[in-house]
Copies of this chain bind each other. A is one copy, B any other.
Amino acid sequence: MLVFEKITDLRAQIREWRAEGQRVALVPTLGNLHGGHQSLMETARGICERVVVSIFVNPTQFGPDEDFQKYPGNSEVDVEKLLSTGVDAVFMPDADEMYPEGFSTSIDVGNIGKILCGQSRTGHFSGVATVVAKLFNIVMPDKAYFGQKDYQQSVIIRKLVRELNFDIEIISCPIIREPDGLAMSSRNAYLSEEERTAATVLSKMLKRGEELIKHHGVSDPVAVGKEMMKIIDSEPLATPDYIEIIDPDTLESVSTIESPVVLCIAARVGATRLIDNMVLGEG
Interface residue ranges of A2-17 to B (CB < 8 Å): 7, 11
CB distance from A236 to the nearest CB of B (A): 40
A153 CB → nearest B CB, Å: 15
Contact B104 A112, beta carbon cutoff 8 Å:
yes
How many copies the complex holds: the figure is 2
Interface residue? A120 (CB, 8 A) = no
Determine whether the beta carbon of A108 is less than 8 Å from that of B110: no
Contacts of A110 in B (CB 8 A): 104-106
Q: Kindly supply a per-residue 1/0 record for chain A positions 75-117, scoring 1 wherever the CB is within 8 Å of any chain B CB and 0 otherwise.
A: 0000000000000000000000000100111111111100000
Which B residues lie within 8 Å of A100 (CB)? 162
Chain B residues with CB under 8 A of A106 = 107-108, 110
A105–B165 CB distance below 8 A: no
Q: What 0/1 pattern do residues 114 to 140 of A give for CB contact below 8 A with B?
A: 000000000000000110011001101
Contacts of A159 in B (CB 8 A): 104-105
A167 to B167, CA, bound (A): 14
Q: How far is the CA of A140 from the CA of B166 in the complex (A)?
A: 9
The answer for the CA separation of A160 and B133 in the assembled complex, in Å, is 11
With a cutoff of 8 Å between Cβ atoms, the chain B residues found around residue A107 in the complex are 105-108
A163 at interface, CB cutoff 8 A: yes
Nearest-neighbour CB distance to chain B for A271, whole angstroms, equals 32
CB distance from A159 to the nearest CB of B (A): 7
Pairwise interchain contact A160-B105, C-beta atoms closer than 8 A:
yes
CB closest residue in chain B, given A249:
B102
* Residues of chain B with a CB closer than 8 A to A163's CB: 103-105, 134
**Residues of the B chain whose Cβ atoms lie less than 8 Å from the Cβ of A109:** 104-105
Smallest Cβ-Cβ distance to A129: which chain B residue: B105
Separation in Å of the A131 CB from the closest CB of chain B? 10
Complex Cα distance A162/B103, Å?
9
Q: What's the least CB distance linking A134 to chain B, in Å? A: 5
Q: Kindly provide the distance from the CB of A111 to the nearest chain B CB, expressed in whole angstroms.
A: 6
Q: How far is the CA of A171 from the CA of B273 in the complex (A)?
A: 47
**Chain A interface residues toward B at CB < 8 A:** 7, 11, 100, 103-112, 129-130, 133-134, 137-138, 140, 159-160, 162-167
Shortest 9 CB-CB distances between A and B: which pairs?
Answer: A104-B110, A105-B163, A137-B165, A138-B165, A134-B165, A106-B108, A137-B166, A107-B107, A133-B164
